[in-house]
Amino acid sequence: MQLALRIVGMIVGFCAAVIMLIIDILYSLSHVLGRAAGVTADASHFWIGLLFTIIGFIGALLAPFSWGASIVLMLIATIGFFFVVGWWAIIPAVFFVIAMLLVYRDRGEAVRRTRRMPSGV
Protein backbone atom coordinates (compact mmCIF):
# COMPACT_ATOMS: atom_id res chain seq x y z
CA MET A 1 0.00 0.00 0.00
CA GLN A 2 3.06 2.22 0.30
CA LEU A 3 3.22 3.16 -3.37
CA ALA A 4 -0.51 2.91 -4.15
CA LEU A 5 -1.56 6.14 -2.43
CA ARG A 6 1.36 8.00 -3.97
CA ILE A 7 0.31 6.80 -7.43
CA VAL A 8 -3.28 7.92 -6.77
CA GLY A 9 -1.92 11.24 -5.49
CA MET A 10 0.12 11.57 -8.68
CA ILE A 11 -2.96 10.95 -10.85
CA VAL A 12 -5.03 13.47 -8.87
CA GLY A 13 -2.15 15.95 -9.16
CA PHE A 14 -2.07 15.45 -12.94
CA CYS A 15 -5.81 16.15 -13.08
CA ALA A 16 -5.26 19.32 -11.03
CA ALA A 17 -2.49 20.45 -13.40
CA VAL A 18 -4.74 19.91 -16.43
CA ILE A 19 -7.58 21.84 -14.76
CA MET A 20 -5.10 24.56 -13.86
CA LEU A 21 -3.95 24.80 -17.49
CA ILE A 22 -7.53 25.04 -18.78
CA ILE A 23 -8.40 27.77 -16.27
CA ASP A 24 -5.21 29.66 -17.13
CA ILE A 25 -5.97 29.53 -20.87
CA LEU A 26 -9.60 30.61 -20.41
CA TYR A 27 -8.70 33.37 -17.95
CA SER A 28 -5.98 34.76 -20.21
CA LEU A 29 -8.15 34.45 -23.31
CA SER A 30 -10.98 36.37 -21.67
CA HIS A 31 -8.62 39.20 -20.73
CA VAL A 32 -7.07 39.33 -24.21
CA LEU A 33 -10.49 39.45 -25.87
CA GLY A 34 -11.69 42.03 -23.37
CA ARG A 35 -8.66 44.19 -24.04
CA ALA A 36 -9.24 43.91 -27.80
CA ALA A 37 -12.85 44.98 -27.34
CA GLY A 38 -11.86 47.80 -25.01
CA VAL A 39 -13.76 46.34 -22.05
CA THR A 40 -10.88 45.81 -19.62
CA ALA A 41 -7.28 46.86 -19.26
CA ASP A 42 -6.13 43.96 -17.08
CA ALA A 43 -2.86 42.37 -18.08
CA SER A 44 -2.79 38.74 -19.08
CA HIS A 45 -0.59 36.52 -16.94
CA PHE A 46 -0.62 33.44 -19.14
CA TRP A 47 3.09 32.68 -18.91
CA ILE A 48 3.19 32.97 -15.13
CA GLY A 49 0.13 30.71 -14.88
CA LEU A 50 1.80 28.27 -17.25
CA LEU A 51 4.90 28.28 -15.04
CA PHE A 52 2.80 27.39 -11.99
CA THR A 53 1.05 24.69 -14.02
CA ILE A 54 4.42 23.15 -14.93
CA ILE A 55 5.56 23.35 -11.30
CA GLY A 56 2.38 21.55 -10.19
CA PHE A 57 2.83 18.92 -12.91
CA ILE A 58 6.43 18.27 -11.85
CA GLY A 59 5.27 18.07 -8.23
CA ALA A 60 2.70 15.45 -9.17
CA LEU A 61 5.31 13.59 -11.22
CA LEU A 62 7.64 13.40 -8.19
CA ALA A 63 4.96 11.92 -5.89
CA PRO A 64 6.04 8.25 -6.20
CA PHE A 65 9.71 9.09 -5.67
CA SER A 66 9.99 11.99 -3.22
CA TRP A 67 7.01 12.84 -1.06
CA GLY A 68 8.57 16.00 0.41
CA ALA A 69 9.54 17.62 -2.87
CA SER A 70 6.19 16.65 -4.35
CA ILE A 71 4.19 18.31 -1.59
CA VAL A 72 6.32 21.47 -1.64
CA LEU A 73 6.04 21.90 -5.43
CA MET A 74 2.28 21.29 -5.47
CA LEU A 75 1.86 23.76 -2.59
CA ILE A 76 3.91 26.41 -4.42
CA ALA A 77 1.82 25.89 -7.56
CA THR A 78 -1.43 26.11 -5.62
CA ILE A 79 -0.56 29.29 -3.73
CA GLY A 80 1.09 30.97 -6.72
CA PHE A 81 -1.86 30.30 -8.99
CA PHE A 82 -4.10 32.29 -6.62
CA PHE A 83 -2.04 35.39 -7.44
CA VAL A 84 -2.50 34.81 -11.18
CA VAL A 85 -6.21 34.02 -11.54
CA GLY A 86 -7.65 34.93 -8.17
CA TRP A 87 -10.48 32.85 -6.77
CA TRP A 88 -10.68 30.68 -9.88
CA ALA A 89 -7.67 28.88 -8.41
CA ILE A 90 -9.98 27.23 -5.84
CA ILE A 91 -10.94 24.57 -8.39
CA PRO A 92 -7.45 23.10 -9.01
CA ALA A 93 -6.47 23.85 -5.40
CA VAL A 94 -9.02 21.32 -4.15
CA PHE A 95 -7.46 18.65 -6.35
CA PHE A 96 -3.91 19.59 -5.34
CA VAL A 97 -4.84 19.49 -1.64
CA ILE A 98 -6.34 16.02 -2.09
CA ALA A 99 -3.18 14.91 -3.92
CA MET A 100 -0.95 16.36 -1.19
CA LEU A 101 -2.96 14.63 1.53
CA LEU A 102 -2.74 11.29 -0.28
CA VAL A 103 1.02 11.61 -0.72
CA TYR A 104 1.48 12.69 2.90
CA ARG A 105 -0.71 9.88 4.22
CA ASP A 106 1.32 7.33 2.31
CA ARG A 107 4.49 8.81 3.76
CA GLY A 108 3.10 8.24 7.23
CA GLU A 109 2.60 4.52 6.55
CA ALA A 110 6.20 4.19 5.33
CA VAL A 111 7.50 5.92 8.47
CA ARG A 112 5.41 3.69 10.76
CA ARG A 113 6.64 0.60 8.97
CA THR A 114 10.30 1.54 9.46
CA ARG A 115 9.74 2.28 13.16
CA ARG A 116 8.41 -1.24 13.77
CA MET A 117 11.53 -2.90 12.35
CA PRO A 118 14.04 -4.14 14.94
CA SER A 119 17.25 -2.15 15.06
CA GLY A 120 19.44 -5.21 14.43
CA VAL A 121 17.89 -5.98 11.02
The mean pLDDT values, 10 residues at a time, for the chain of 121 residues are 84 96 90 69 76 96 93 96 92 96 79 60 54
Domain assignment present for residue 120? The answer is no
Q: Which domain holds residue 21?
A: 2-36+44-110
**Helical spans, DSSP H, in the chain:** 2-37, 46-61, 67-85, 90-116
Question: What is the CA angle 11-16-18, rounded to 5?
Answer: 95
Task: Give the separation between CA 51 and CA 41, rounded to whole angstroms.
Answer: 23
In this prediction, residue 107 carries a pLDDT of: 75
Contact 99, 88 (CB under 8 A): no
In this prediction, residue 77 carries a pLDDT of: 97
Max CA pair span of the chain: 73
Number of domains composing the chain: 1
87 CB-contact burial (10 Å; exposed 0-12 / middle 13-18 / buried 19+): exposed
Domain assignment present for residue 18? The answer is yes
Domain assignment present for residue 52? The answer is yes
Domain assignment present for residue 90? The answer is yes
Domain assignment present for residue 121? The answer is no
What are φ and ψ of residue 42, in 5° steps? Answer: -65, 145
Give every CB contact of residue 92 below 8 A, 6+ residues apart in sequence. Answer: 16, 17, 19, 20, 23, 56, 78, 81
pTM > 0.85: yes or no: no
In this prediction, residue 74 carries a pLDDT of: 96
Domain assignment present for residue 117? The answer is no
Domain assignment present for residue 32? The answer is yes
